[in-house]
Structure 1
Amino acid sequence: MTTTVTTAAAPAPAGHPAPDTAARRRRRATLLRWCFVAPAALYLLAFFGYPLVRNILMSFQHYTPHTFFTGESPFNGLDNWRAVFRNPLFVDSLGHTLVFTVGSLLGQFVLGLALAVFFSRRFPLSGVVRAVLLLPWLVPMVVSAVVWRKLLDQESGVINTLLMDLHLTSSAVPWLSSPDLALLAAILVNIWIGIPFNMVILYGGLQEIPRELREAAALDGAGAWRTFRSVTLPLLRPVVTVVLILGFMSTVKILDLILALTGGGPADSTQTLGTVTYQLSFQQLDFGQGAVVGNVLVLVSAVFAVLYLRANRSDFGQGK
């Protein structure tokens, strides 16, 4: 005779959920997290992922206004890329973009940091003055460019009138009509627009530095410059990294300022990658070649985005 012994499952310890209940809770938590992430993921795929993929495909197609009527965009391999890289305007725009970006970033950062240090000291109406200095950043860039185009006008601009009244120049300066000065004028205008952003971010970073460290450096005999170089700047490095990389990513692809200020002229002296993309796509109506220049801009921005993330990660690891 065979006796079957049934072993009862051991009850879960008091205070601990059963295994199946714990698994259900984990699945529910995972599903809930995905529910929160899904809208953002769908938004990125729809408005960033699809246009990016479409732009890459377009750079390998013969895509013209005729395509909108026939739907035909034949694959032409690397023809668009060869045409763009052999175009002297594209080569010149690379140099202009580099000069414009580096000049703008240096001016914005140096002046923004100087103002941030200045406003870190309390004085009457400092808050009001800071608010007034934010106006160039709040005004739309096209509006700022149009105003500065009037100010820099060779015949009736306020800037030339002021310079001649102060006897700093004997004749009107062709700020926007000279190929040698137009790019410099665009850089100066962009510096004026970007100073408030740099000032606000750097000012916030300065407020996070403990005052006791600067006071300790002063007690050790360090002067103002030595304290700033040895104490303030090293602690401000994470903020400086963010400001420079975000400033680069917004400056390298700038379009509206150049179009409203100089239109890319005179003699293509202010053509940048952004304006070349616009010219190829919406003036010459060669969307394939325009997509090539757009992809170059995306690639450059992606490289600096990776650098930004790596810098943030390393700074976080050091702070941790």
Structure 2
Amino acid sequence: MMLAPSFILLFALTLYPLIFAVRNAFFYWNLQTSPTPQMFVGLDNFKNAFTFTPFMASLRNTLLIAFIGIIIEITIGMFIALALSAKMPYLTFVRALLIMPTTIAPIIVGFMFRYMYWDVTGLIPWIAKTLHIPEPGAGYLGSTGTALPAILLADIWQWTPFFAIVLYAAIVSVDSEMIEAARVDGAGGIRVVWSIILPTIKPVMVVIVLLQFMKLFNIFDLVYVLTRGGPGDSTMTLSYSLFQQGLVNFNIGVAAAMTIMIVAILNILVFIYTKFVMKGAKLS
């Protein structure tokens, strides 16, 4: 009986929405024409998700954001963490400064960068002009070649400090005697990082990479504020495409089918990652 509230909450927040999506994925249902599902259509909603929505473009953009974002964030985060662990001056102040971006809501970060990309008074166009870097004709958010990197930059700014703080905490927990012994044996800084620090903190790295991948795979806020999926489909992501079908076009049947496919794709990717990467890290 003591677990009953937990099971009720789990059902309300997880199982019921999933059951709702699975059921309606096989029915034609548009809220503009009917408040309830209208007719059984089999797999038509899944076919329509590929035919009448930019599903494949959304999947491509989502994977690009997830993989490129993680690679850049963990790389820069590692360098920052190593610098912090070297007992740099004003360490407490720097750590407090680093944690600030992660405390800001993503939608607020989106508005901050929207103003920074504004071609009239934005900081980024001003820096580009100062460095004599040509600006896209339609602006950074209006050009197909720069809109996706612009979203990535906003996410990198917000979440690289998260990687840095977590990796710093992992690095300072590494046995200092091992590091000192390696230095006595003649190991340089790069050798110490590669042979001692990275293998020791690998379990932490694989966990935060997994968490960040799931977050980026479901990215919505920055896309909604900065580009609305445009120009064209160049920044359309799975979450934003799902939002358009369900809450803009009110096509609940197709949105439910897309939900099933998105959940399936994410679970397959997470399974592959946990099977080959997390298993190799020997997580306890």
Which has the higher mean CA deviation after the structures are superposed, 104-113 or 71-80? 71-80
Whole-angstrom distance in 2 between the partners of 1:294 and 1:211: 48
Question: Which of residues 105, 108, 117 is equivalent to 2:82?
Answer: 117
Ranked by relative contact order (alpha carbons within 8 Å, sequence separation 6 or more), the top structure is 2
How many Å apart are 1:85 and its aligned residue? 2.1
Whole-angstrom distance in 2 between the partners of 1:283 and 1:172: 30
Whole-angstrom distance in 2 between the partners of 1:205 and 1:300: 31
Count of matched residue positions in the alignment of Structure 1 and Structure 2: 282
How many Å apart are 1:305 and its aligned residue? 4.5
Q: Give the aligned CA root-mean-square deviation in angstroms.
A: 2.1
Tell me what 1:82 maps to.
47
**Residue 202, structure 1, aligned to residue 167, structure 2:** yes
Whole-angstrom distance in 2 between the partners of 1:187 and 1:262: 12
Contact 1:249-1:304 within 8 A present in 2 as well? no
Tell me what 1:62 maps to.
28
| Aligned amino acid, residue 169 of structure 1 | I
CA spacing shift, 1:36–1:301, aligned 2, 3 Å: farther
Tell me what 1:269 maps to.
234
Q: How does 1:125-274 map to 2 (within 5 A)?
A: 125-165=90-130, 167-171=131-135, 174-274=139-239
Contact 1:164-1:172 within 8 A present in 2 as well? no
Whole-angstrom distance in 2 between the partners of 1:267 and 1:247: 27
Contact 2:219-2:239 within 8 A present in 1 as well? yes
Tell me what 1:32 maps to.
none
Which protein is bigger by CA-based radius of gyration? 1
Which has the higher mean CA deviation after the structures are superposed, 50-59 or 287-296? 287-296
Tell me what 1:50 maps to.
16
| Aligned amino acid, residue 133 of structure 2 | T
CA displacement, residues 56-93 of structure 1 (integer Å, 9 cap, x when unaligned): 11111112115753x34322100000111234611111
How many Å apart are 1:44 and its aligned residue? 0.9
Q: Which secondary structure state, in structure 1, belongs to the residue aligned with residue 121 of structure 2? A: coil
**Identical pairs, percent:** 28
How many Å apart are 1:151 and its aligned residue? 0.3
Tell me what 1:96 maps to.
61
Whole-angstrom distance in 2 between the partners of 1:306 and 1:43: 25
How many Å apart are 1:313 and its aligned residue? 6.6
